[in-house]
Structure 1
Amino acid sequence: MNRRQMLVTTATLTSTSIWGNWKQNLAYQYLLAKVEGFATHLPSNKYIAFDWGVSEIMPDNEGVKLSWNKLISGKNQFVSLRITSATDVREVLVLEVKTAKTGQKIADWDLRFAALLQPFELQIPQDAIRAIIEEGIILKMVKGTKPFWFFSKNNSEKTAPNAYLPHLLVHDKKMNKDAWKDRLLSLESLQTFGWQQGVVWDGILEMSKDSPKVKSVLKEQLEMYFAQNSLLYCNLNNVKTEGKIHTVESILPFAILAQTNPTHPLLQKAIDFCEKHANAEGVIADGTGNNRMVKTEECYTVSYPLAVLAKTLNRPDLALLSIKTLQSRINILEKGNSIYQRGTEQGELLFENWGRGVAWYLLGIAKTLVYLPESEKKQEIKASFQKSVQKVMAYQQANGLWNCFFHQPETGVETSGTAGVAAALTYGYQHGLLPKTAKIAAQKATEALVSYLTPDGYLTGTAQVNKGGDALQKNGFRIISPYTLGFLAHIAP
């Protein structure tokens, strides 16, 4: 078994009788699917992350078949179907799920705006489990206009880890509160390069401080992108990207790289990008002129990395850029009892009290403060941060969670924002920035989040990545987003 295989900690069951071979010490098993269908036609200008195998579902064709070995039905077991997106979907996408022989319809599976490296899960009704196992299923696109690629073995030399391959998750009702650590500390938390992968690495970094084993996992993941002093990744258009930084949201990974490999040559590329995107006042943002948009993300994805780089490389000029960028977000995006996720420098404000946006804001400020040198400006930011936290804590629901939009209960509770805010409160308390009340609020949130964990440790209940505007965030659509495991790492006891 090689190092990568050791990191992939899932269990695969291939026997003909899953119930007869159930391992009593596990709360779940993965039953990998055989995928059959038309040949995948990957255009020559397209690339699949890590060169992993992929299968394709096309609009207006018969779809693909997933099949398993025959199983004997068991009692008190539950089954979910999973596949993981190998592309970034920019439309409503629905797959019809039917049994392969009798055509029994199981569901219309909603994969709208799927993100690259995002697993989707469909609960299988108890009365359909036997038919699915005996017949297999057909996945057919009934809404969508573009090919959908998902990870599969597909005779490829390189294969996604088991949790990202098509499988049935077979489980009982037992809950292992630590299963999420197995997912995080493996290749099964790899995400799109940028803020999502940065959140994962930042969480692993927090857990690695006293653990050589965790450090080795972080090194393994970093090398998936930064091997041989280079940068290689699949961008959101499935294009192979080498050595390029496209947006301010892609700077976060360099905060972790700087703390683990402070002589890496690509750190200078991140610095160059930030300096190029700073205006005359030293405020960094994507866009130019009146088209610049400041977002709470940059508190975490720009100011924090710059503060780390300033300390690591002894560059006071980078600390100043960090402060200027942070202050601009505080001045523009926080108004009264609200924190807006984005706004223009001319005063337009959007996404009021959006949970994930607030999480980036608070966690970014907390992390930046820890790495900035002492100054009057730092103390001003600290005081502002403490006031912001009090406002946010007032929105926490009795169940310990925060709504998707804090002040709009009709948008429903949401776990990525909750986990991110709890991470900020925990980190702030641990570093002497916040009082014990923040720790108590974070603990309450952590306890509530446990019920949203899948048996194998992914966090459900997150709002989809923000490609569909307000409507997508407010309509209650919820999915699994592996990057949230990085937030959990900050709040783990």
Structure 2
Amino acid sequence: MCLSNHTDSKVELPGKTPCLAAAHAQTADLKVPESKRIPFGWTAAGIGPGSGESLTLYWNGPLRNHPAWLRIAIALDVRENVRLALRSAATGVPIGEFDIRYASVFQLYQVKLTGAQTELVLKEGAVLSLIQGSEALWIFTGGPAEAPLLLPHLLPESADSPDPWLQLPGNLASLSSVQAFGWQEGCVLDGLLELERAAGTGRFLGSVKAHLGMFFDQHGNLRYENPRSEPADGRVYGIEGTLPFAALAQVDPAHPSMERAIRFWLSDASDDGTIRDGTMLSAEGSYTIAYPMAVMAKAYDRHDLALLAIRQLEARQKLLTDGDVLYLRSHEDGSRSFRNWSRAYAWYLLGLARTLRELQEFSSLPDADYNRIAALKSELARAAGVIMTYQSPAGLWPVYVDEPETGIETSGSAAIAAALAIGVQLGVLDDQAGLAALRTRNALTDYLTPDGILYGVAQNNKDDGRLQREGYRILSQMGTGLAAQLEAVLQQLPGLPGIRL
């Protein structure tokens, strides 16, 4: 069964790095589970656990003895550990394996090929078969030309690799960086908006609109899937699902869906004004709730939303901090979890910094509310001081910031450093925070692919945190969005050398 065809398999990526797209794919005729949906109506192929349920990729292109990366992207949510064997199609020569654990939709995976293996794959094709996993694994095989990295492709290794920071904006500005609607896509959108704030060319603003246009139709109707790949059209799936509305409010404040997010917040608020995820209050809400609330408060001059945003930050300071310790989650029974997780600090600090930046530009608050904002600025300074003590000499942070043995985590590092840079921009933090952010930026250079994608990212905590402690790391466009936020804010700070779009 032919799933996708391309008349020309060579694709020029936005960062000017050429890749070779699969010319066509053949697989067994597996059906998408009834409760699930492939995003955007794109074509996907299932690789099943049964014999004969493999996927074969073919390329039309010159045979070259050139090392390359073979990449695929996930099309349906994965809730188990999966391994794919990769071999040549005609002679069955083993080439490598994909190690895929609890993957989210749009996550990229890659296997390094030697020059001889690249030539073999181009000559014979490549077969992907499931060697671990109980359910079919679905990968994208067809989609728009504007999203080449989300389709199977070969990325040749270059002996003269360009600066990956120069490739990052082009990669992020394409549809290759689209993520699941919610916190992951929100990180990308904020990266694009921050790049626009730094560059002011309109280029990245157009990319934000193109991204949002994938999820909203011409009538403003929202169409997307929740984190389990289940259709969630026309509704907000949870507190993490409101982050993209911050970007929507900035590029199209009159959009008919804006009121949907506001209604969700107001209907979900408890008597004390806090908005939780069921019975749990999480650090994510500083970024995914308080920040978009503050954006809308400024956009619509709504004092009630500004106060609600302040309340979210105050509640999280009270319930998630304990001296110099920060937790990701506070539970109804009084317990707390994910102690000193780097991405807990990421969401807490980035939410504080971004919300304060929006509220600082809000002109109609009473003095008492500005006093509350001043207290939150003090909390940003306190928490920033704590997290800077855990920064490694190289400039990054571990998965658990006080446990170096858990290994470096790049997305949390990027977000923490972006928050530090915004704090300097606000005048809340001093130059030492700016230099700490710059050290992070420089250290992240070694964790960017040649075409500008961040790797070294800890997997999402769908497996209750086990993967974070096992040293498992992924490529992540969500993480790329956070790196872009850091890069762009640093460009807006005076006196920091060598950073330009």
Give me the TM-score of the superposition, normalised by structure 1: 0.90
Aligned residue number for residue 249 of structure 1: 240
* Residue aligned with 1:339, SS: strand
* 1:239–1:362 distance in 2 versus 1, CA, 3 Å: same
Letter in structure 1 aligned against 2:246? A
After the TM superposition, which residues 105-254 of structure 1 pair with which residues of structure 2 at under 5 Å, given as runs? 105-153=94-142, 161-173=147-159, 174-177=161-164, 178-209=166-197, 210-227=200-217, 228-254=219-245
Shift of 1:187: 0.6
Paired with 2:378 and 2:338, the residues of 1 have a C-alpha distance of 24
* Cα distance in 1 between the residues matched to 2:287 and 2:63: 50
In the alignment, which residue of structure 2 is the partner of 1:92?
81
* One-letter amino acid of the structure 2 residue matched with residue 387 of structure 1: R
Query: What amino acid sits opposite 1:195 in the alignment?
Result: W
**Does residue 1:60 correspond to 2:54, yes or no?**
no
Q: Counterpart of 1:30?
A: 20
What residue identity is the alignment partner of 2:153?
H
Residue aligned with 1:483, SS: helix
Contact kept, 8 Å, 1:52 with 1:159, in 2: the verdict is: no
The equivalent of 1:320 in structure 2 is 307
Change in CA separation of 1:318 and 1:118 when aligned onto 2, cut-off 3 Å: same
Corresponding residue SS for 1:103: coil
User: Does the aligned pair in 1 maintain the 2:415–2:486 contact within 8 Å?
Assistant: no
Which of 383, 397, 401 is the equivalent residue of 1:388? Answer: 383
Equivalent residue letter for 2:486: I
Q: Residues 232 and 243 of structure 1 are in contact (CA less than 8 Å); yes or no, is this contact kept in structure 2? A: yes
Deviations for 1:386-431, whole angstroms, at most 9, x for unmatched residues?
A: 0100100111101111111111111111111111111111122122
Question: Is the CA contact 1:179–1:455 (under 8 Å) kept in the aligned structure 2?
Answer: yes
CA contact (8 A) 1:194 1:250 kept: yes
For residues 66-93 of structure 1, give each alpha carbon's deviation from its aligned partner in whole angstroms, at most 9, with x where no partner exists: 122364334xx43111000011101111
Aligned position for 1:417: 412
User: Which position in structure 1 is the counterpart of 2:3?
Assistant: none
SS in 2 for 1:152: strand
Residue 347 (structure 1) shift: 2.6
Following superposition, the deviation at residue 462 of structure 1 comes to: 0.4
**Structure 1, residues 418-473: CA drift from partner, whole Å, max 9, x if none?**
11111111122122221111110011000111111111111111011111122111
- 1:53, 1:159 within 8 Å by CA — same for their partners in 2? no
1:250 to partner: Cα distance = 0.7
Counterpart for residue 268 of structure 2:
277
In 1: Cα distance, 2:307 partner to 2:457 partner = 35
The 1:221/1:139 distance shift into structure 2, 3 A limit, reads: same
Would the aligned equivalents of 2:74 and 2:107 in 1 still touch at CA under 8 Å? yes
Whether 1:303 aligns to 2:290 is yes
Q: Does the CA contact (< 8 Å) of 1:32 and 1:68 recur in 2?
A: yes
The structure-2 alpha-carbon separation of the partners of 1:460 and 1:169, relative to structure 1 and needing over 3 Å to count, comes to same
CA distance in 2, matches of 1:301, 1:166: 32
Q: Contact 2:399–2:406 at 8 Å: present in 1 too?
A: yes
Is the 8 Å Cα contact of residues 98 and 109 (structure 2) preserved in structure 1?
no
The answer on whether the counterparts of 2:8 and 2:23 sit within 8 Å (CA) in structure 1 is no
* Letter matched to residue 111 of structure 1: I
Structure 1 CA distance, aligned partners of 2:344 and 2:395? Answer: 18
Q: 1:313 to 1:27 in 2, by over 3 A?
A: closer
Q: What's the offset of the Cα at 1:314?
A: 2.0
Contact 1:12 1:29 survives alignment (8 Å) = no
Residues 177-199 of structure 1: per-residue CA shift (max 9 Å, x gap):
31111110011111000001111
Question: Percent of aligned positions with the same letter in both sequences?
Answer: 36
Residue in 2 that maps onto 1:476: 471
Q: Distance in 2 between matches of 1:431 and 1:226?
A: 33
Q: CA deviation at 1:241?
A: 2.5
Which amino acid in the other structure matches residue 203 of structure 2?
Answer: K
Q: Where does residue 7 of structure 1 map in the other structure?
A: none
Q: Distance in 2 between matches of 1:159 and 1:72?
A: 23
Q: 1:112 is matched by which residue type in structure 2? A: R
> For residue 71 of structure 2, what is the aligned residue in structure 1?
82
Provide the rounded CA distance (Å) in 2 between the counterparts of 1:163 and 1:483: 14
Contact 1:151–1:160 (Cα < 8 Å) also in 2: no
Distance 1:466 1:421 in 2: 18
Contact 1:36 1:64 in 2 (8 A): yes
Counterpart of 1:350, as a letter, is S
- CA distance in 1 between counterparts of 2:261 and 2:470 reads 36
Q: Describe the superposition over 1:317-367 as per-residue Cα deviations: whole angstroms up to 9, x where unpaired.
A: 222221221111111111222211112144311111111221111000011
Partner SS state of residue 389, structure 1: helix
Aligned length: 468
TM-score computed with the length of structure 2 as normaliser: 0.89
Contact 1:254 1:305 in 2 (8 A): yes
Distance in 1 between residues matched to 2:23 and 2:439, nearest whole Å: 39
Partners of 2:173 and 2:204 within 8 A in 1: yes
Q: Cα distance 1:162–1:378, how it changes in 2: closer, same or farther (>3 A)?
A: same
Counterpart CA distance in 2 for 1:145 and 1:447 is 41
User: For the structure 1 residues 358 and 58, does the alpha-carbon distance in structure 2 shift closer, same or farther, using more than 3 Å as the test?
Assistant: same
Kept after mapping to 2: 8 A contact 1:119/1:481: yes
- The answer (yes or no) to whether the contact 1:27–1:172 under 8 Å persists in 2 is no
Give the deviation of 1:115 after TM superposition. Answer: 0.7
* Aligned-partner Cα distance in 2 for 1:265–1:448: 42
| Conserved 8 A contact 2:242-2:292 | yes
| Partner of residue 373, structure 2 | 378
State the distance in 2 between where 1:308 and 1:42 align. Answer: 38
Offset, 1:34: 2.4
- Residue 33 of structure 1 deviates from its aligned partner by 4.6
Gaps in structure 2 of 5+ consecutive residues? 1-5, 360-364, 492-501
Cα 1:486–1:70 shift into 2, 3 Å: closer
- CA distance in 1 between counterparts of 2:115 and 2:393 reads 33
Residue matched to 1:4: none
Matched, 1:103 2:92: yes
1:204–1:160 CA distance, 2 compared to 1 (3 A): closer
CA RMSD of aligned residues (A): 2.3
SS in 1 for 2:20: strand
